[in-house]
Structure 1
Amino acid sequence: MQLIITPKGQVRCIYAEAIDLTTIGRMSISRGSFVEPNADGQWNVDLSPVQGPRLGPFTQRSAALQSEVDWLERHWISPSC
């Protein structure tokens, strides 16, 4: 689990239960994306909550979820962001 600490002292991460994040301080959790099926039974990733693109369609939900995490790690959670 990657934790990015901004110059303002905010911690940004892709939420997981690997550690108890409440030990860091007060939390504010917000959605980074939506992974939902389309009318054809394929999966789309909508990263608009973090000003990202739409990805897909994917035939498997697991592929859509992995694409979501990959994009967030490269473009949102990366220390250079």
Structure 2
Amino acid sequence: MVDLKLARIPDRTPVKLTITVLPDLHQALQDYARIYAETYGRDEPVSELVPAILSAFLDSDRAFAKARERLGARSG
């Protein structure tokens, strides 16, 4: 086996999720998309923004990160 510097690239196959949100959250997401477009000069549909919003939320949740590390330690 060759010891390459680059590790194996993880699976990047998108997984489609279908969710239902309440009207107030839907409006907030629409508003976010409008503000995003004003800020960056680029329209993005809510369906493209939601994954980035969720990733940013999870990345900023320190308690989640610590708990997830514990899960990894137990399953490894």
Normalising by structure 2, we get a TM-score of 0.31
Normalising by structure 1, we get a TM-score of 0.29
**Greater Cα radius of gyration, structure 1 or 2:** 2
Relative to its length, the structure with more helix (as a share) is 2
Relative to its length, the structure with more strand (as a share) is 1
